[in-house]
Amino acid sequence: MEISLTDYLDEIDGKILTENVNPEKIFVNDGYVSDLLSDVMGNAKAGQVWITIMRHLNVIAVASLTNLSAIVFAKNMIPEPTVISKANEEGICLISSPLSAFVLAGKLYKKLNL
Amino acid sequence: MRWFKADLHIHSVLSPCGSLQMSPKNVIKKAKEKRLDMIAITDHNSMANCRVYEKFAERNDIKFIYGVEIQSAEEIHILSFFDEWDKAQEFDNLLYESLLPRKNEPEFFGDQVVIDEHENIVRMEEKALINSSVWSFEEVLKKVHDFGGFAVPAHVDATSFSVLAQLGFIPENSFVSALEITKKCSAEKFLSQYPNLRKYALIKNSDAHYPEEIGSGFTEYYLQEPTVEEIMFACKNFKNRKIKN
């Protein structure tokens, strides 16, 4: 099953950090939870939402490399402005949510009817 | 014995995130300006440019230390320093083999330039140096020690790639006697937040990626001679050696 990122945002009280990226045009069919860049580099796949607490600039590089178009920062984590502007450039939607990675993943799992 | 002013965390053009302006000439010029007695080049996961920068440093009476910033499997950055090139090179080869296999993609991460003493490009390093080694934090410490090196967990107060960010604590390990804190970190505030880290020497460096940053963080070491072994003594307050931030 595939859903629009907007549908997921409503579930997680998600705040969009990247104003130039339209979440309505992003569709997701899976998720990936990880706080290690090397792990994401080797295993994440296009169509997944990446749920993490990492905020380094290389997060954006790794997302571009693996064709991820949405990253949710758990526990209200917000990256530096330079990270957000890089994501805007790359067309990657950054979302900050007050929920924990566990709850974020659970809600996505349910929404996708997995 | 005398004081040596040292900046032991500087990236060269080999680091994908390092500016291409970090040529040996520019690095040494700035180091001279900042009156540094000692510098170390610490690229991510490789010492391929050390020898060239050493030549430029020596010509300008700056003591060069062979260094590298290793990324462990837990994505913890660890500075490592060596006195002997043979050992450093042997270690560097093992480290290179231990890196997760992925090619660098310069458009995402930046160029990885290996140069010669005339500042010509010899080759572009193909393996992604931003990647991790398969060695764990404690394996790195042990291996560095086995090759006669001195390992210092890097920027421990930072929220990314630091031992405190990745593990939340510093494992008891006899190989660690010093921690690097970022140049803007107040040692006093840091220690009041982590009182159990008082037993470690706290050193500062610039972590320069651009020439103008060189020397913006430094530590002074009271030593007999400017070597890694003496720096290690200073960090342990051994034989009257000491440090000052």
The pLDDT value recorded for residue A49 is: 98
* Helix and strand numbers, DSSP H then E, in chain A: 5, 7
Q: What is the pTM of this model?
A: 0.89
For position B203, what pLDDT does the model report? 98
Tokens found for residue A11: 């579930």
Q: Is A66 on the interface with B (CB under 8 A)?
A: no
Per-domain boundaries in chain B: 2-244
Tell me chain B's radius of gyration from C-alpha atoms. 17
Q: Is A58 on the interface with B (CB under 8 A)?
A: yes
Give per-residue pLDDT as tens, B6-21. 999 999 999 999 999 9
| For residue A18, pLDDT beyond 90 | yes
On whether the CB atoms of residues A6 and A109 are closer than 8 A, the answer is no
Give B103: exposed, middle or buried? Use CB within 10 Å, 0-12, 13-18, 19+. Answer: exposed
CA end-to-end span of chain A: 8
User: Chain A partners of B159 at a C-beta cutoff of 8 Å?
Assistant: 55
Helix (H, G, I), strand (E, B) or coil at B160: coil
Give the percent of chain B with pLDDT over 90: 94
CA-based nearest residue in chain A for residue B72: A38
Let me know: does B132 contact B101? Beta carbons within 8 Å: no
- ipTM for the predicted complex: 0.73
CATH fold group of domain B2-244: TIM Barrel (3.20.20)
Asked if A56 and B74 come within 8 Å (Cβ–Cβ), the reply is: no
E strand intervals along chain A? 3-4, 15-16, 27-28, 30-33, 48-52, 70-73, 93-96
Tell me the per-residue pLDDT of A30-78, one tens digit each, with 9 for 90 and over. 999 999 998 999 899 999 999 999 998 999 999 999 999 999 999 999 9
Helices and strands counted in chain B (H then E): 8, 11
pLDDT at residue B107 in the model = 87
Pair A17, A55: CB distance under 8 Å:
no
Q: Which amino acid is at A28?
A: V
Residue B89: pLDDT over 90? yes
Query: Residue B172: its pLDDT value, please?
Result: 87
Interchain pair B100, A55: CB under 8 A:
no
List, for residues B118-173, the tens digit of each pLDDT value: 999 999 999 999 999 999 999 999 999 999 999 999 999 999 999 999 998 999 88
Which residues from chain B sit within 8 angstroms of residue A41, using beta carbons? 102, 131
Whether the Cβ atoms of residue A57 and residue A85 lie closer than 8 Å to each other: no
Q: Are B131 and B100 in contact (CB under 8 A)?
A: yes
> Contact at 8 Å (CB) between B217 and B206?
yes
**Closest of B160, B162, B156 to residue B194, by C-alpha:** B156
d(CA B224, CA B240): 10
